[in-house]
Amino acid sequence: MRIAVVILNWNGEVLLERYLPSVVEYSSGAEVYLVDNASTDGSVAFVKANYPTVQVIRNSENGGFTKGYNDGLKHIDADIYCLLNSDVEVTEGWLDPIVSLYAHNPDVAIVQPKILDLMRRDHFEYAGAGGGFLDQLGYPFCRGRIFQSLEKDIGQYDDTCEIFWATGACMFIKSKVFWEIGAFDENYFAHQEEIDLCWRAKNAGYKVFYEGRSKVYHLGGSTLSNMNPKKTFLNFRNSLYSITKNLPRKKAVRIVFLRLLLDAVAAAHFALQLKFRHSFAILRAHFSYYRNFRKMYKKREKTTFVPKYYHTKSIVLSYFVRHIKNFNYLVKD
């Protein structure tokens, strides 16, 4: 089983100096690649000078997460791609449980390890945590992370289980499946593109798994912080894209209408907090979605649909009304 650990980079010299050493040291048996998105700093020169075993692929432009990986992965021959953020510190033996999971489960296409917070190492990290899920309206959340609430890691997610989506911060995917389902959708640019990818894989009959015996530490927010208005825009818009592409037509229309109402509430909530840039970001997200609706709708033509995609009916009600901040207390529907 040939594994390629692929790090996408854009002007990330400082991050590579800090976190690439652990990847090189603990990824024995895998090939390590740097896919560079037309950086203007010294990151490529740094890698070539200090890590000659790391193979460098240079993209001609910064196409974001989606196009960056799509362009770079075309040049990599491997059975399994590990898409790894440049701000991730891996641990000794992190690849072994992943290889074992693939070897014993041929229908598993995508795997995510346990994602812990690099700054609070006994807590889960925002991006991925203990594996991703959706509620009935398409809002994402994780085991170990609901909205901004992060659980302490006390071994509650040291298991191996099926999940709905795996984080792009550290995602393993069979190369054959990646290209079979159409790679990343470049209209997303960044954020929630991994949810769409996993959704399409599940619609195609593949499984997405979490492997808690493998763990990594993620800094997070190195590209866009969780409270950056651009990230708000991309998250709200791209979530609507995924619903439109991956659900049956009637259900997708109904959910998009409900999301219009709830997203308006979210915009009002930001306004009450005087975070007007975030309110405007949600408004722009909807206008961008409606402008690109026909393009997204056409992508449904090759899609079959899984009957069950959600874990609980409303993560918004559970969190803000019932004050449930721990995944294990959610009502599973």
| Residue owning tokens 């024995």 | 28
Q: Which pLDDT tens digit goes with each residue over 136-149?
A: 999 999 999 999 89
| Cβ(124)–Cβ(179) below 8 Å | no
Domain 3-218 class, CATH top level: alpha beta
| Cβ(194)–Cβ(150) below 8 Å | no
For residue 306, what pLDDT is reported? 74
> What's the Rg (C-alpha) of the chain?
19
Question: In the chain, what are the domain boundaries?
Answer: 3-218, 229-329
The pair of three-digit structure tokens given for residue 211, joined into one six-digit string? 């492997």
CA dist 61 and 90 (Å) reads 28
Could you tell me which residues come within 8 angstroms of residue 135 by beta carbon, excluding any fewer than 6 positions away? 141, 310, 311, 312, 313, 314, 315, 316
CA dist 65 and 68 (Å) reads 5
Q: Tell me how crowded residue 46 is: count the other CB atoms within 10 A of its CB.
A: 17
Q: What is the 3-state secondary structure (H, E, C) of 22-37?
A: HHHHHCCCCEEEEEEE
For residue 222, what pLDDT is reported? 47
Per-residue pLDDT of the chain (333 residues; tens, 9 = 90+): 999 999 999 999 999 999 999 999 999 999 999 999 999 999 999 999 999 999 999 999 999 999 999 999 999 999 999 999 999 999 999 999 999 999 999 999 999 999 999 999 999 999 999 999 999 999 999 999 999 899 999 999 999 999 999 999 999 999 999 999 999 999 998 889 999 999 999 999 999 999 999 999 999 864 545 568 999 999 999 999 999 999 998 999 999 999 999 999 999 989 999 999 999 999 999 999 999 999 999 998 667 777 789 999 999 899 988 999 999 999 888
CA dist 277 and 222 (Å) reads 20
CA dist 231 and 236 (Å) reads 8
Q: Pick the closest to residue 127 from 220, 238, 208 (CA basis).
A: 220
Q: Pick the closest to residue 59 from 3, 6, 5, 8 (CA basis).
A: 8
- Calculate the dihedral angle through the C-alpha atoms of 203, 72, 63, 119, rounding to the nearest 10 degrees: 80
Bridge-based pairing of strands 3-9 and 80-84 is parallel
- Calculate the dihedral angle through the C-alpha atoms of 220, 35, 238, 140, rounding to the nearest 10 degrees: -40
Which is it for the CA torsion 155, 158, 159, 161, positive or negative?
positive
